[in-house]
């Protein structure tokens, strides 16, 4: 892991495959006063009406903007589906904007002792280079599958397609500095979050 700036906050990256409990874990950090940057939320903002990515996407992918000026995600998915070169073009547009949003977040919270970067594809995009440590949330495969398939509109095929784009859970766990098994329940996860915050900030959990 590369260290952050000497006077800046400790940057903890949070990641995990779909259905592993990442959002719930991020909320536990936020409840303890840790500033959290949600990369997915940042992307939603970039894609929305007036978002920094919307106009560029509309130019690169004609017909993908909704009437309100935001990105029509269904149209965009259709434009890149099965076309790796178009997906790469989309990522080349969006990823720098997402990174810039992350940098702006760090500047806003420069005085905080600890900040959390909630990034689903942290390892897949090389995001760990911006973190001082990485926390991976995990759960047994059967728990993950049950959680994901319980989501409205989710199918086994869609779940398989999402998993295919994500680094295997075992590899993430092997590379992580901290691991939380969310299948053990909220109380156990909260206790682990408290322990991690205390260790990094030098406070009493």
The domain segmentation of the chain, as residue ranges, is: 1-35+112-205, 40-108
SS3 199: helix
Q: In the chain, what percentage of residues exceed pLDDT 90?
A: 79
Label residue 3 by pLDDT band (50, 70, 90). very low
For residue 145, the surrounding DSSP H or E stretch is helix 141-149
Contact criterion met (CB below 8 Å) for 135 and 177: yes
Q: Average pLDDT, stretch 151-177?
A: 94
Does 4 score more than 60 pLDDT?
no
Looking at residue 204, its pLDDT comes to 62
CA-CA distance, 74 to 72, in Å (whole number)? 6
Q: Average pLDDT, stretch 55-74?
A: 94
Sheet strands side by side (includes 114-118): 36-38, 114-118, 10-15, 133-138, 178-181
Q: Average pLDDT, stretch 160-170?
A: 92
Q: Average pLDDT, stretch 48-72?
A: 94
Residue 155 class from Cβ within 10 Å (0-12 exposed, 13-18 middle, 19+ buried)?
A: exposed
Considering the chain, what is the average pLDDT of its residues?
Answer: 92
Looking at residue 7, its pLDDT comes to 65
Can you name the CATH fold of 1-35+112-205?
A: Rossmann fold (3.40.50)
Q: Average pLDDT, stretch 56-64?
A: 94
Q: What is the pLDDT of residues 79-137, one digit of tens each?
A: 998 899 999 999 899 988 988 888 999 999 999 999 999 999 899 989 999 999 999 99
**Which of 44, 69, 68 lies closest to 56 in space, CA to CA?**
69
Q: In the chain, what percentage of residues exceed pLDDT 70?
A: 96
Please tell me the pTM assigned to this model: 0.84
Looking at residue 81, its pLDDT comes to 87
Does 57 score more than 90 pLDDT?
yes
Does 185 score more than 90 pLDDT?
yes
Q: Average pLDDT, stretch 152-171?
A: 92
Looking at residue 99, its pLDDT comes to 84
């Amino acid at each position: 892991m590369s260290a952050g700036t000497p006077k800046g906050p400790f940057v903890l990256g949070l990641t995990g495959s779909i259905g592993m409990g990442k959002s719930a874990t991020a909320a536990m950090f936020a409840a303890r006063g840790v500033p959290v940057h949600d990369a997915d939320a940042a992307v939603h903002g970039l894609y929305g009406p007036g978002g920094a990515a919307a106009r560029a996407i509309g130019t690169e992918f004609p017909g993908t903007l909704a009437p309100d000026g935001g990105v029509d995600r269904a149209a965009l998915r259709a434009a890149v589906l099965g076309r790796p070169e178009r997906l790469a073009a989309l990522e080349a547009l969006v990823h720098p904007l997402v990174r810039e949003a992350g940098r702006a977040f760090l500047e806003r919270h420069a005085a905080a002792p600890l900040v959390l970067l909630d990034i689903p594809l942290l390892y897949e995009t090389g995001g760990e280079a911006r973190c001082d440590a990485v926390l991976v949330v995990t759960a047994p495969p059967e728990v993950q599958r049950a959680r994901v398939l319980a989501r409205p509109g989710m199918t086994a095929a869609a779940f398989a397609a999402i998993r295919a784009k994500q680094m295997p859970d075992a590899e993430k766990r092997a590379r992580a500095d901290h691991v939380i098994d969310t299948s053990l329940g909220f109380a156990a996860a909260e206790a682990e979050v408290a322990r991690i915050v205390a260790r990094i900030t030098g406070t009493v959990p």
